[in-house]
Amino acid sequence: MHSNALTLIDLFAGAGGLSEGLSEAGFHSLMSSEIVPAYAQTYKQNHPSSKVITADIRTLDAEKIRRELNLDKGELDLIAGGPPCQGFSINAPVRSVLDHRNHLFKEYLRFVDAFAPKAILIENVPGLVSFAKGNTLRAILDALAELGYGADVRILGAAYYGVPQMRWRTIILGLHGKRLPPHAFPEPIYHAPIRPNFTTYFNGRPLVKFPLGTASPDFVTVEEAIGDLPPLAAGELGAEVKQYICEPQCDFQRRMRTGTTGVLNHAAIKLSKINLERLAHIKPGGNWTDIPAHLLPKGMQRAKKSDHTKRYGRVTPDGLASTILTKCDPHWGAYFHYSQDRSFTVREAARFQSFPDHFVFAGNQQEQFAQVGNAVPPLLAEAVGLPVKAILQGA
């Protein structure tokens, strides 16, 4: 089944968004490492032939795992991973070099040293580029060079690759014993209404891959992403497996529905009475500024209209979703449905992340939202994986 696929191990794997996209690009996951049990369970359900290790990566013997996988050093095609990035995030309250999560890159590098894969892939938040004045990123690239990898970095906008949300990721790619060619990073295929709000230069050169004139103007919209999913009232659970309300209306829906006959992980969160009252005043594209002052939380009643512009937002059907976070809490951003008086479900959040509908999330609803929000969008991962595959195969 996987005889022609390139081999992959996925570290800090989460629910497996990176592996899901890379599998579509032609890679097969031999092993993954994830510390959170619910995340690891989701990964195992969706990648049943992969060896899933649920443990703190700092306790793992990389050489022993390589031998257990029956791999010689240098035989593995790719090590991919996203070490926890909260400490680097431009949205984090404190971006500190003392944050222990920042040093988990060393564990990733330890596996690279043990396996000596032909290629490496690291994904992170855009804030990595400016963290510690760029010195952290320089240290990572220097460490990879010491291990024999020609590596480079770009910042990719997920919406440019068919993901229907405003999400950016920093991608580091490297080849063992070779300089990384310019075409290693994928060219955007769509124009989309997104703008960087972070540092876009590193060592004096621009990192963001912007679409060229040949890219399509028809980015995937919110309605195209979720318009075929069954309607729900706030707090409505419904059947575990629900039916689509129509035939696929666009290529994105057709792709999301491949391999499944129903809708899972689609139950609506119950909203408080006050949030339902607030929601009644918000039009598509609107936000907290549409809500009468007496209905606002006390802390927002004195806020400037220019502040908190995404809070209590209702998305527009012809636009992009906000960046999907670890819970679709309306107090955090624009997570109200454009035509239904409720916030997004796990499945809708997963659609905005480009997870196919056959990808089922384990754990309770809170854990499922966290898995979706922490994931790499599979369509973005696939876009990154395709040129890497071509390079490794000598195409």
Confidence band of 92 (pLDDT split at 50, 70, 90): very low
> Is 246 a known active-site residue?
no
Ranges of each domain in the chain: 6-216+377-392
- 350 sits in which H/E element: helix 346-352
Top pLDDT among 245 and 84 is at 245
Average pLDDT rounded to a whole number, residues 62-71: 97
Mean pLDDT of 343-355: 98
At 26-35, the pLDDT tens digits run 999 999 999 9
What per-residue confidence (pLDDT) applies to 193?
A: 96
Average pLDDT in the 27-50 region?
97
For residue range 161-219, list pLDDT tens digits in order: 999 999 999 999 999 999 999 899 999 999 999 999 999 999 999 999 999 999 999 99
Is it the case that residue 221 has pLDDT exceeding 60? yes
Q: Are strands 6-11 and 27-34 parallel, antiparallel or unpaired?
A: parallel
The two most distant CA atoms of the chain are separated, in Å, by: 67
Instruction: With cut-offs at 50, 70 and 90, classify the pLDDT of residue 3.
Output: low
Cα separation, 282 vs 245, in Å, equals: 25
Binned at pLDDT 50, 70 and 90, residue 283 comes out as very high
Residues 6 or more apart whose Cβ sits within 8 Å of residue 246: 228
Alpha carbons 328 and 235: distance in angstroms, whole number: 14
pLDDT at 71: 97
Q: Which pLDDT value is given to residue 190?
A: 97
| Sequence-ordered list of residues with C-beta below 8 angstroms from that of 346, at least 6 positions apart, any chain | 265, 266, 267, 361, 365, 368, 369, 372
Report the CATH fold assignment for 6-216+377-392: Rossmann fold (3.40.50)
pLDDT at 100 over 70: no
Round the CA-based radius of gyration of the chain to a whole number and report it. Answer: 21
Question: Are the C-beta atoms of residues 165 and 322 closer than 8 Å to each other?
Answer: yes
Q: What is the pLDDT of residue 115?
A: 98
Of the candidates 85, 246, 250, 328, the residue annotated as catalytic is 85
pLDDT for res 138: 87
- In this predicted structure, the answer to whether residue 258 has a pLDDT above a threshold of 90 is yes
Cα separations in angstroms, 122 against 13, 222, 292: 11, 28, 45
Query: Over 80: is that where the pLDDT of 93 sits?
Result: no
Residue 1 has pLDDT above 50, yes or no: no
In this prediction, residues 370-382 reach a mean pLDDT of: 97
What does the mean pLDDT of the chain come to?
92
Query: How far apart are the C-alpha atoms of 338 and 314, rounded to whole Å?
Result: 6
Confidence class for position 91, pLDDT limits 50, 70, 90 = very low
User: From CA 70, how far away is CA 73, in angstroms rounded?
Assistant: 10
**Mean pLDDT on 218-237:** 97
pTM for the model: 0.93
pLDDT at residue number 85: 45
SS3 280: coil
Q: Give the pLDDT confidence score for residue 388 in this predicted structure.
A: 98
